[in-house]
Structures are given as structure tokens and as C-alpha cells.
Structure 1
Amino acid sequence: MEKQVNTSSRPINLDLTRMKFPPMAIISIMHRISGVLLFLLLPFVLYLLHQSLHSQESFVLLQQTLTSFVMKFFVWVLISAVCFHFLAGIRHMLMDCGLGESVKTARLTAYFIMALEVIVMIFVGVWLW
């Protein structure tokens, strides 16, 4: 004898592409993603540092390599991720100290971090190219 399952109380799989996340959630998720990205890029950065310090010939070769579009893009992504992670981390630490915990202030600081990061990305792009 089988029991009837009440399907109306089951959780519904939500379509995340149709949901509108608040800016605070977007900043928090992007802060985590930038941290993972920095962690994954760390071996490449250490390799570039090793190449720059190994010898004068490897330093000159690295300088020539850094003029390519791919390497400039890599450096742009790296610097942008570091800056965003730093700015969002400062915001999170201030919130841990009790500053900006209201929804209105949190939303305002989230928009401020987004705007500031766009400006930083533009400046870094202009500086590299």
C-alpha cells in the first residue's frame, strides 16, 4: 500500500536567470569569485615573478612577452580582480565593524564599489594599452 505524496509542499527549482539579485548580493558573490580567481592566477603570477628575477635575459623576454594582447589582457584581469577584491573587502570589513549595515547604506556602498571598480578598470586599461 503506497502513500500519496503531497507535491504542493515540495520545494520548487527556481530559475536563477529570472531572479533579480540586490546589488549587495551581487557584490558579495563577485567578491568571492574574485578571490577564487586570484587564488587560481597565483601560480601564473609567481611564475612571471620568477622569470623576471631569474636572469637579465629572462627579464627582457618577459618584457617582450608582456607587450602581446593576451598578456596585457591577463594583467588587466589580474589588476582588476585585485582592486575589486580589495575594495569589496574593505566594504565587508567596515560592515563587520557595524558601519553601513542598514539596507539603504549597504545598497549605496554596493553601487559605489561597482562604479569605483568600473573607473579602476578603465584607468588600468588605458594605462596598459
Structure 2
Amino acid sequence: MDGPVKKDQRPVNLDLRTVQFPPTAIASILHRVSGVLVFFFLAILLWLLAMSLSSPVGFERAAGIVDNFLVKLILWGLLTALMYHIVGGIRHLIMDLGYWEELESGNASAKVSFIITGLLAIVVGVIVW
């Protein structure tokens, strides 16, 4: 076996902290994460809604729960995740129609979805606080 030595072509470093993800990958991962968050925490929002609509006393109780700073922070995070999931879902629907499928337009649409979500997060923050 005097032939050339075959070099191993597998990646050497698989540390995800050092990998540079493109905006489209980040947008896709965040869309999945926001969907899971919304799925699990939607029950809490529905519970608060049901409590607030049950009676005037229930409304006061729900308002008292939401008046806590930590609860407001969690509520803001959840609503921001919901806004991102909606914006990302609209982006994916547009891509399903055949638009923004190229690398440049996909990256641009991901960045725009981040900006829109940031603006919506500010609006939600003003509403919550």
C-alpha cells in the first residue's frame, strides 16, 4: 500500500458555539423555539383569561396576579415569542408561495422579521407595563 494516504474528510470541530449560523438558520431555530414556548404557556394565558372573565372578583384576582413585575416580564416574553412566531409563520407562508427562496432574499427576510419582532416587542412592552 504505497499509494497516497486518504485524509479523513469529517469535520474536526463540532462545537456549536463556534459555528457561525446564517440569519435564515437562526430564524428557523427561533421559530421552532417560539412555537414550543407558545404551546406550553398558552394554557397559562387561557387560565388568566378565563379567570378574568368569570366575574368581577375573578378579574380583580387576575389583575392582581399580572400586577407582579416577574409575571409581567414572563408575560412580555411570552407575547414577544407569540409575535415572533406569527411574523416567522407569515415569512414561511410567503416562502411557501415561492418568494424569498434564494439565499440573499432569505437572509434579508429573516433580518426584517427580527426587526419587525423587535418593534412589536417594544409595543407589547408598552402595553404590558
Shorter-chain TM range is: 0.7 to 0.9
CA distance in 2, matches of 1:100, 1:125: 30
- In structure 1, the residue matched to 2:39 is 39
- In structure 1, the residue matched to 2:83 is 83
Q: What is the correspondence of 1:17-32 to structure 2 with a 5 Å cutoff?
A: 17-32=17-32
- What are the ranges of 5 or more consecutive residues in structure 1 without an aligned counterpart? 1-5
Deviates more, 1:26-35 or 1:13-22: 13-22
Report the alpha carbon displacement of residue 88 of structure 1 after superposing the two structures with TM.
Answer: 0.4
Counterpart of 2:79 in structure 1: which amino acid? I
| Superimposed CA distance per residue, residues 61-99 of structure 1 (whole angstroms, 9 cap, x where no aligned partner) | 111221110221122112111110000000001101101
Number of aligned positions between the proteins: 124
Inter-CA distance 24–9: structure 2 relative to 1 (3 Å threshold): closer
- What are the ranges of 5 or more consecutive residues in structure 2 without an aligned counterpart? 1-5
TM-score of the pair, normalised by structure 2: 0.87
Report the alpha carbon displacement of residue 54 of structure 1 after superposing the two structures with TM.
Answer: 2.2
- In structure 2, the residue matched to 1:115 is 115
CA distance in 1, matches of 2:58, 2:40: 24
CA distance in 2, matches of 1:90, 1:49: 26
- In structure 2, the residue matched to 1:92 is 92
Deviates more, 1:99-108 or 1:46-55: 46-55
- In structure 2, the residue matched to 1:3 is none
2:63 maps to 1:63: yes
Counterpart of 1:64 in structure 2: which amino acid? G
Percent of aligned pairs sharing the same letter: 39
Misfit runs of 4+, over 3 Å: 6-13
- In structure 1, the residue matched to 2:3 is none
SS in 1 for 2:17: coil
CA distance in 2, matches of 1:11, 1:25: 19
CA distance in 2, matches of 1:112, 1:91: 10
**What root-mean-square deviation, in Å, do the aligned CA atoms of Structure 1 and Structure 2 show?**
1.9
Report the alpha carbon displacement of residue 11 of structure 1 after superposing the two structures with TM.
Answer: 6.2
SS in 1 for 2:34: helix
